[in-house]
Amino acid sequence: MSSPKETWIEYIHDLQNRICAAVEASDGKAVFQEDVWTRPEGGGGITRVIANGNVFEKGGVNTSVVYGEVTDAMRSQLKINGHSWFACGLSLVLHPMNPFVPTVHCNYRMFELYNENGDCVDRWFGGGTDLTPYYLYEEDARHFHRVYKNACDKFDPEFFPRFKKTCDDYFVNWHRNKERRGIGGIFYDYQRPDEHRDVNWWMDFGKACGDSFMEAYIPIVEKRKNQPYTEANKHWQEIRRGRYTEFNLVHDRGTLFGLKTNGRIESILMSLPPTVRFEYNYQPAPGSEEDKLLQACLHPVDWV
């Protein structure tokens, strides 16, 4: 009988393989380059990077299985108390070339905490998938959210509205008038098994969300990847990529966790887009397609 830890590791590696195959098929040219790395304190990961494709300008689908002793920095900054810890997850970001194809991010993970005897004293699950379009196609937004609503509803009908709100309230550049990074999706964290929902139940939920990624995202890519675009469209994409970069470097807990636990810097910063713009006080023309996207980022929409 496999332990929850072993079951989850096996699932995460299988999901990485399936997502990479789907992304390569959609791109039609570029293939993922694999980099297997180890972490001196314990564990390691598989980083897979795609670049300069027909569709994807830059992207990565990473898995990591890392563990070690709880450090003073983790206690003070991450509020983690215990003797040792284990974390396993998949994290991906895909930045398309075409401004009409959205950027996408997802992450699914399990964390365990142990006492000095090696007994598991705490365990939680977290994850989510969110969409960052540069131009707003409402049918794409509805499709993306509907796929995740369907996945959530099989477990608890209260999950989707709750986790969508958590997502809308998490990927926020608070320093920019509460401007969201994109149009959301789902996000959950610190979900602990209890007497009603055991570790296998939460693992099954994480798997259902992870498995939904291809259904939610790839059809949008296929629909938009051959749309012609202009330099002006690309300029706006780079402005919005700047917002993406700001969030990841200033607010993202995953980035901060990686930096505080001596994570692999190349894997942590893989999420950043290849080219960005920071222009002083840039504002899209009111009523333009660019402004329509910005308004959806300032005022989250209930897409389903």
Mean pLDDT over 185-213 rounds to 97
Assign 263 a pLDDT band (cuts: 50, 70, 90): confident
Confidence at residue 209, expressed as pLDDT on a 0 to 100 scale: 98
95 band by pLDDT with thresholds 50, 70 and 90: very high
Residue with token string 């830059």: 58
Instruction: Grade residue 73 by pLDDT with cuts at 50, 70 and 90.
Output: confident
Residue recorded with tokens 């509460």: 178
Answer whether residue 192 shows pLDDT above 80.
yes
**Mean pLDDT in the chain?**
95
**pLDDT value of residue 269:** 86
Q: What is the pLDDT of residue 270?
A: 82
Residue 257 predicted with pLDDT over 80 = no
What pTM was estimated for this model as a whole?
0.95
* CB distance 88 to 117 below 8 Å: no
The catalytic residues are: 105
- pLDDT of 258 > 90? The answer is no
Put residue 130 in one of left, alpha, beta given phi > 0 → left and psi -120 to 50 → alpha. beta
φ, ψ of residue 291 in degrees (nearest 5): -65, -35
pLDDT for residue 267:
80
Checking if the pLDDT of 1 tops 80, the result is no
Residue 85 has φ and ψ, to the nearest 5°, of: -145, 165
pLDDT at 46: 96
- For the stretch 22-45, pLDDT in tens is 999 999 999 999 999 998 989 999
Q: Quick one: what percent of the chain has pLDDT higher than 90? A: 88
Q: What structural domains and CATH numbers belong to the chain?
A: 4-298 (3.40.1500.10)
What pLDDT is recorded for position 169?
A: 97
**What is the pLDDT confidence band of residue 74, given thresholds at 50, 70 and 90?**
confident
The mean pLDDT value for 213-226 works out to 98
CA dihedral 170, 22, 96, 217 (to 10 degrees): -40
Picking from 295, 277, 178, the residue whose alpha carbon sits closest to that of residue 236 is 277
pLDDT class for 230, splitting at 50, 70, 90?
A: very high
Partnered with residue 111 across adjacent β-strands are 87, 124
The answer on pLDDT for 232 being more than 90 is yes
- Residue 3: φ, ψ to 5°: -75, 160
State how far the Cα of 77 lies from the Cα of 73, in Å rounded to an integer: 6
For the ranges 66-70, 163-167, 186-190, the lowest mean pLDDT is seen at 66-70
What per-residue confidence (pLDDT) applies to 156?
Answer: 98
pLDDT (tens digit, 9 = 90+) per residue, 119-169?
Answer: 999 999 999 999 999 999 999 999 999 999 999 999 999 999 999 999 999
Over 80: is that where the pLDDT of 262 sits? no
Sheet holding 84-96, edge to edge: 33-38, 43-51, 56-69, 84-96, 103-114, 120-132, 184-191
